[in-house]
A and B are shown apart, each in its own frame.
Chain A
Amino acid sequence: MDMILDGLSWFFVLLGSAFVLIGAIGVIRLPEVFTRSHAAGMVDTFGTGMIILGLCFQTSPFESIASALVLVKLVMIGFFLFFTSPVSSHALVRAAMADGAKPLLKEGVELEGALKDEGDKPS
């Protein structure tokens, strides 16, 4: 049983680390702020989520209250990151859009309907 839990923990932590590295390389290599926000969002949700899931398998929640609290705190961290990082990504992209950043589009594709009710950028 311990070996299974250890193996799951290894798997998820290493998967999360790989995604964190891929996302960081994406933040370096992608061409403009919207695509970079995709890479950073992947780091924020998938990479960190997998690492926290892997850490959860390392806890032993049935031994004592203190070791159960470790699992609770890990779940809380995962919960907050899972909900706050898309919100901050959305706010960032929206601010960039309102500030006049243009997404890279395929040749001949027009941006439709974006920020129609937003007005132009604030003074």
Chain B
Amino acid sequence: MFVAAAAALIVAILLGLVRALVGPTIYDRILAGNMIGTLTVILIAVHGFLAGRPEFLDIALVYALINFIGTIAILKYFRFKDLGHAGTDHGKAKEDT
């Protein structure tokens, strides 16, 4: 069962990699990267059960958090070209930063 799940996850990661390589816009690539990150979290968890060492769940937990923060940071960088940007004020982008 775990082997089947791991195989499905690896195939899905490869398909996501294809989308990340060919994706026409930057958002397709970010989408694929986000999906690969989520699948990696699950792959680590499944591998922990497959190897009988559930300690891998700690790594999966950290990976889940960092994946989310990474996606948001990349999106902010490509939107404002600056990670320190204050963001939008009531939906209006500040022009003078």
**For chain A, what secondary structure do more than half of its interface residues adopt (helix, strand, loop), or is it mixed?**
helix
Known pairs A20-B12, A101-B25; A74 contacts B1 (CB<8 A) = no
The smallest beta-carbon distance between A80 and chain B, in angstroms, is 5
In the complex, A2 Cα to B35 Cα: how many Å? 33
Residues of A within 8 A of B12 (CB): 20-21, 23-24, 43
Known: A44-B38, A55-B49, A73-B60. 8 other contacts (CB 8 A): A13-B5, A24-B12, A27-B15, A48-B39, A51-B5, A55-B46, A70-B54, A76-B61
Residues of A within 8 A of B39 (CB): 20, 43, 48
Of residues 90 through 123 on chain A, the ones whose CB sits less than 8 Å from some CB of chain B are: 91-92, 95-96, 98-99, 101, 117-119, 122-123
Interface size on A, residues (CB 8 A): 53
Chain A, residue nearest B63 (CB) = A77
Chain A, residue nearest B34 (CB) = A88
B58 near A73 with CB under 8 A, answer yes
Interface size on B, residues (CB 8 A): 49
A36 near B5 with CB under 8 A, answer no
Q: List 16 A-B contacts (CB under 8 A).
A: A10-B1, A21-B12, A27-B15, A27-B19, A28-B15, A33-B28, A54-B1, A58-B49, A59-B54, A70-B54, A73-B54, A77-B60, A77-B61, A84-B65, A98-B79, A123-B93
In the complex, A9 Cα to B95 Cα: how many Å? 53
Q: Which 8 A-B pairs have the closest CB atoms?
A: A122-B93, A24-B12, A17-B8, A84-B68, A24-B15, A73-B57, A96-B27, A70-B54
The smallest beta-carbon distance between A14 and chain B, in angstroms, is 7
